Amino acid sequence: MTKVGSNRRRRRLKKRMAMALPLSLPLPPRISKVIEVNKNVEIPIPDSSTRAIEDNRSDTQISQESSNNISNDEWLISVKNYDDKTVKPQIQRIPSLLREKQSNKKCYDPLVVSIGPYHHGKQLDSHHEKQLDAFEKLKIPIAQKFWHACENKVSIEQIYEAVAREGNSARECYEEGPTDESFNKMMFLDACFVLHFMSVFETESNYSNGTDMKNPLGPLLPWSSYLTFVCRDLFLLENQIPSQVLKVLMKFRFKNESEGTMLIQNFLDKMTTIMPPQERTHTNAVKKVVQRMMGCSVQKKEERKINMDECHHLLHLVREQLIGSSPEDKNEKKSVKCLLYLDQLVGSSPEYKKEKKWYSYHSVTELKSAGIHFRPSQTNHVTDVKFKSHLFSGTLTLPRIMVDDTTKPLLLNLAAYEMCPGGPSDFRIMSYICLMNSLIDHADDVKELRRKRILVNNLGSDDELAQLFNEISNGLVFDPKEYEDLMLQIQKHCESKAKVWMAECIHDHFSSPWAFLAFLGAIFVIFLTAVQTYFAVFSH
């Protein structure tokens, strides 16, 4: 019995082991198809180890999401609390967008004298390098002349120490430059050159014979031949010196600050000939006489006072002088805005507003054919542009501008100054350049503006002047709101068929004074014929 029981236990153990081993026998086809279809189906096994793994995975995902939320919150907080404390340099480089244009490359580099660190010791071609080196050597004797001309008898060491104390703040005005003592020496020599050149230019005798400042490029060439080039270089954006350095030297050179300010003011008035002074006409004289007879106050000559504290350099002063407006102009602009606001209230329909915002640019020839005449403004500001529509005509008032070889560099550097980060908040000079480009397309447009004494062409032919504005305006950004009201008024005038028809009729049939006199004679003959017929019929 014992042997039989042990055999049974062995058989049971073999059966269990056989059940635990994998099946090696081929399965039936129907079962193999079911297994093949459902082989990717995962059957969850409620095991304790798998539950632990899933719990660990969920905990890891939650921790990652929380860390991402924290990083996002920190990023948003950094955006919210961001404060740009970096001070933009006041004297910056020319934007690459403008310097890359081949036709304007020469308008940004000095020809004879370098001021500041940007072009100091710059390697140029042999001719320009010779001129820059010659004027660089001239700065030392000019600094000596400036020291001798100082009102307060002080040592030259005291003057240099005063400039050196402004070295750190002056260095922050540039994007790059030396950081050692050579920067202070450069500021001292450049500031002495600029102020002494202005004082020499102010004296008519020194300007005519050149006895004070000798020509460094050769005794045979007169100094006056280089005055224009020096003045051109002093108004380049990359060739500026901070006004605070000039103010330090002005305290030693003059008795009070007003004398130094007047020197710079007179220099700017003489050299910024882009806007020539107002012409004395008989009409203005008659207006003044009538105003005196009527007891009205006569407007005095505009006193333009520069502010050295608010302006950063000479080019900034030139810009303020060109865009400055008198109180009368500001009041007139306010009244125009009030009238436009009332016009908007009257035409408050959506179709009216949508139609009013559209306008197109017209050339001088096109505006003339629409009955719009041109005349020079009473001020020398680029912002003094007005339009007035009459019964059958219109009048566009523009500031007078004198164009010569220095006009293109000056306008381009003013435009570059407006494009610099941290520069002026408006684009008034660029808007004026784009306005003139829209008015001038061909030589006939230049001829008409010359005839109206708005343009003074000292450059060459009318074709060259028209091409000048086309080259300058290429790539510039203008403010569409600067002349928006003006353009809307011109567009409204040009869309009036009655005014355009009358203008065309006058231009075609009465352009000659003899044709107008013949028309008056014909009207007079018709009138006499009608009177004669009336008395012949009703005489009895």
The full DSSP string for 416-428 is: HHHHSTTS-SS-H
C-alpha angle 56/59/65, rounded to 5°? 140
> Is 391 buried (19+), middle (13-18) or exposed (0-12) by CB count in 10 A?
exposed
Asked if residues 502 and 371 have their Cβ atoms less than 8 Å apart, the reply is yes
Closest Cα to residue 242, out of 190, 201, 202? 190
pLDDT for the residue numbered 432:
94
Q: Is 439 exposed, middle or buried (0-12, 13-18, 19+ CB in 10 A)?
A: buried
Between 249 and 47, whose confidence is greater? 249
Its sign, for the CA torsion 277, 283, 286, 290, is negative
Neighbour count for residue 244 (Cβ, 10 Å): 18
Looking at per-residue pLDDT, the higher value among 248 and 284 belongs to 248
Q: Grade residue 396 by pLDDT with cuts at 50, 70 and 90.
A: very high
Model pLDDT, residue 309: 76
CB 230 within 8 A of CB 156: no
At 456, which helix (H) or strand (E)?
Answer: strand 455-457
pTM of the model: 0.72
**Tokens coding 500:** 């355009």
The residues pairing with 455 across neighbouring beta strands, listed in sequence order, are: 401
Q: How confident is the model at residue 299 (pLDDT cuts 50, 70, 90)?
A: very low
Q: Could you give the angle at which helices 227-234 and 181-202 cross, rounded to 10 degrees?
A: 130
The answer to whether 256 and 309 are in contact (CB under 8 A) is no
Q: Which residues, including other chains, have CB under 8 Å from residue 148's CB and lie 6 or more apart?
A: none
Torsion of the alpha carbons at 429, 407, 224 and 314, rounded to the nearest 10: 20
Tell me the residue type at 405.
D
DSSP 8-state class, residue 374 = E
Instruction: Say if residues 424 and 92 touch (Cβ distance below 8 Å).
Output: no
State the average pLDDT over residues 457-484.
89
**What is the rounded average pLDDT of the residues 115-120?**
92
Q: Which residues, 6+ apart, have CB-to-CB distance to 540 below 8 Å?
A: none
Band of the pLDDT at 51, cuts 50, 70, 90? Answer: low
Query: What tokens were used for 425?
Result: 């908040």
Residue 311: what are its φ and ψ, rounded to 5°?
A: -95, 140
Query: Which of the residue ranges 86-90, 269-273, 279-283, 359-363 has the most confident prediction, judged by mean pLDDT?
Result: 359-363
Residues 20-24, mean pLDDT to the nearest whole number = 47
Residue 277 scores a pLDDT above 70: no
Which range is least confidently modeled, 83-87, 373-377, 418-422, 449-453? 83-87
Q: Which pLDDT tens digit goes with each residue over 337-350?
A: 454 445 445 444 45
Q: pLDDT tens for residues 367-379?
A: 988 889 999 998 8
The overall average pLDDT reported for the chain is 76
CA distance 30 to 34: 7
**80 pLDDT more than 90:** no
DSSP letters, 522-534, are HHHHHHHHHHHHH
Question: Tell me, what's the pLDDT at 525?
Answer: 81
Which residue reads 């035409």 in tokens? 347
Q: Give the integer Cα–Cα distance in Å for 91 and 420.
A: 9
Rounded Cα–Cα distance for residues 462 and 424 (Å) = 32
Of all residues in the chain, what percent carry a pLDDT higher than 90?
30
User: Region 195-210: what's the mean pLDDT?
Assistant: 68
Q: Give mean pLDDT, residues 2-29.
A: 56
Nearest to 230 by CA among 193, 260, 269, 266: 193
**b vs e for 51-66, b when ≥16 Cβ sit within 10 Å of the residue's Cβ?**
eeeeeeeeeeeeeeee
> Residue 177: which region, alpha, beta or left (left: phi > 0; alpha: psi -120 to 50)?
left
**Strand, helix or coil for residue 402:** strand
Q: Which residues contact 329 (CB under 8 A, 6 or more apart)?
A: 379, 381, 383, 384
Could you tell me if 428 and 412 are in contact, meaning their C-beta atoms sit under 8 angstroms apart? no
Alpha-carbon gap, residue 239 to 472, rounded angstroms = 20
β partners of residue 374 = 396
Q: What is the mean pLDDT of residues 319-334?
A: 62
Instruction: Enumerate residues 6+ apart whose C-beta is below 8 A from 307.
Output: 320
Tell me how far apart the alpha carbons of residues 268 and 408 are, in angstroms, rounded to a whole number.
Answer: 17
Average pLDDT over residues 431-445: 93
- pLDDT surpassing 80 at residue 74: no
